[in-house]
């Protein structure tokens, strides 16, 4: 009898120990989760930056409804120079437009060359005349608002959200997630960093910046750089979304606070991760192409309206919006010049034919 009572008491003590142990584990996990939640919430509030941009949608996007969304990524050339340069307004050295479609589980990234000849939307110019410049300067003139509005006007696609990261931020983010892996599409050396074609390497923050920035020795020039920029962004996303980065979340958050701004609220980020996470597994990439243009001895990249329209409809299809026509595109001053020149060349081609119009220079 005493033996049975002793056994029952031992079982009760053991059960209490198990319950207390599970309760302790639960409290620890709950505390850590709540701390992480509060840390992320605090960081989100610190990096939040509201934008007043021109509305290009018929209805407002609702993330909870898992609508396709768009965003602009701006890589700002600040953070790694001296105090004198840091006092100057930054420029968007890297410009990407992305769409995320949860219905097709596809993310599409389009690179926009920094030197693209563009309308500076809402720029205060003489007698309200339209002002044109390199797209990279829109950020210098009017921060993210002018940059996003100018991008929207360039290709007639709504930009729902934006993220800007300065150069030091890219370095810190890559270091915070313990580096990323890339496979270089070519062999090159830049700022003391060497990369070999088709060789997979793990790179740190400074190496990632060098890998993404080089363009002068790339046969594709700025377009080659855009490809490598997208490789770096995808590698960062893959690493951040992996479970292996959770242990470094505090370092990541500190880096974000110092170097990132966005108009995504905390609840948007939480909803987006659960609703759109799978869409980041499949990437499509596009480029806005163009040719050199010289205006007053200044170099620009000129993009034909037809190419801008093509990119616009590619992104609009991903956003499940109606396609547009050339009549819906904003034409720039040089577009009209190019059209007149093409028309003139076409007309003169009809007027003169080489076999009908020849000169005899034998006597000169």
**pLDDT of 185-238, one tens digit each?**
999 999 889 999 999 999 999 999 899 888 888 888 878 888 898 888 888 877
- pLDDT of residue 347 exceeding 60: no
Number of residues that make up the chain: 364
**pLDDT of 101-140, one tens digit each?**
988 889 999 999 999 999 999 998 877 789 999 999 999 9
**Half-sphere exposure at residue 213, Cβ-oriented, CA atoms within 13 angstroms:** 21
| pLDDT (0 to 100) of residue 242 | 65
- pLDDT of residue 20 exceeding 50: no
Euclidean distance between the first and final Cα of the chain, in Å? 135
Selected residue with higher pLDDT from 280 and 129? 129
Cross-strand pairs, 116: 301
Sorted by sequence, the CB contacts under 8 Å of residue 98 that are 6+ apart come out as: 70, 71, 72, 73, 107, 108, 109, 110
| pLDDT (0 to 100) of residue 152 | 96
Q: For 116, which DSSP code? A: B
| pLDDT (0 to 100) of residue 34 | 47
**pLDDT of 64-76, one tens digit each?**
667 899 999 998 8
pLDDT bucket at 318, cuts 50 / 70 / 90: very high
Task: Work out the average pLDDT over 297-306.
Answer: 95
Q: Which of 168-172, 234-238, 296-300 has the highest mean pLDDT?
A: 296-300
- pLDDT of residue 40 exceeding 60: yes
Task: Work out the average pLDDT over 329-341.
Answer: 82
Mean of per-residue pLDDT scores for the chain: 79
pLDDT bucket at 363, cuts 50 / 70 / 90: very low
Radius of gyration of the chain (CA): 27
Q: How far is CA 337 from the centre of its chain?
A: 31
Q: CA-CA distance, 216 to 249, in Å (whole number)?
A: 36
| pLDDT (0 to 100) of residue 17 | 54
Q: What is the percent of the chain with per-residue pLDDT over 90, rounded to a whole number?
A: 38
From the list 320, 227, 242, 322, the residue with the least C-alpha distance to 280 is: 242
| pLDDT (0 to 100) of residue 356 | 41
- pLDDT of residue 87 exceeding 60: no
Sorted by sequence, the CB contacts under 8 Å of residue 332 that are 6+ apart come out as: 117, 118, 119, 130, 132
Selected residue with higher pLDDT from 314 and 52? 314
CB 262 within 8 A of CB 159: no
205, with CB counted inside 10 A (0-12, 13-18, 19+), is buried
| pLDDT (0 to 100) of residue 158 | 95
User: Does the predicted model carry a pTM greater than 0.85?
Assistant: no
Domains belonging to the chain, first-starting first, are 48-350 (3.40.630.190)
Q: CA-CA distance, 206 to 179, in Å (whole number)?
A: 10
Sorted by sequence, the CB contacts under 8 Å of residue 38 that are 6+ apart come out as: none
């Amino acid at each position: 009898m005493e033996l049975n009572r002793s056994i029952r008491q031992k079982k009760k003590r053991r059960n209490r120990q198990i319950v207390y142990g599970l309760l302790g584990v639960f409290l620890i996990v709950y505390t850590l989760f709540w701390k992480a939640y509060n840390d992320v919430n605090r960081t989100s509030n610190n990096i939040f930056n509201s934008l007043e941009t021109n509305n290009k949608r018929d209805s407002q996007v609702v993330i909870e409804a898992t609508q396709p969304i768009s965003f602009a990524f701006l890589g700002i050339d600040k953070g790694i120079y001296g105090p004198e340069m840091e006092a100057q307004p930054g420029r968007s050295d890297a410009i990407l437009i992305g769409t995320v479609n949860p219905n097709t589980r596809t993310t599409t990234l389009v690179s926009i060359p920094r030197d693209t000849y563009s309308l500076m939307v809402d720029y205060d110019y003489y007698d309200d005349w339209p002002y044109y410049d390199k797209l990279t300067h829109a950020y210098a003139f009017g921060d993210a608002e002018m940059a996003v509005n100018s991008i929207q006007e360039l290709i007639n696609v709504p930009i729902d959200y934006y993220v800007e990261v300065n150069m030091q931020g890219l370095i810190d983010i890559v270091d915070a997630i313990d580096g990323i892996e890339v496979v270089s599409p070519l062999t090159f050396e830049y700022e003391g960093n060497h990369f070999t074609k088709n060789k997979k390497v793990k790179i740190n923050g400074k190496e990632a910046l060098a890998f993404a920035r080089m363009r002068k020795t790339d046969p594709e020039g700025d377009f080659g750089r855009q490809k490598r920029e997208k490789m770096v962004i995808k590698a960062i996303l893959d690493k951040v979304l992996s479970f292996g980065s959770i242990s470094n979340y505090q370092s990541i958050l500190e880096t974000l606070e110092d170097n990132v701004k966005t108009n995504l609220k905390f609840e948007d980020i939480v909803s987006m991760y659960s609703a759109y996470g799978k869409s980041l597994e499949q990437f499509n990439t596009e480029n806005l192409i163009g040719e050199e243009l010289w205006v007053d001895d200044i170099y620009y990249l000129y993009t034909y309206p037809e190419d801008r329209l093509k990119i616009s409809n590619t992104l609009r299809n991903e956003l499940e919006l109606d396609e547009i026509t050339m009549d819906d595109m904003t034409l720039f001053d040089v577009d009209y010049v190019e059209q007149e020149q093409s028309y003139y060349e076409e007309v003169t081609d009809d007027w003169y034919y080489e076999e009908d119009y020849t000169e005899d220079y034998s006597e000169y």
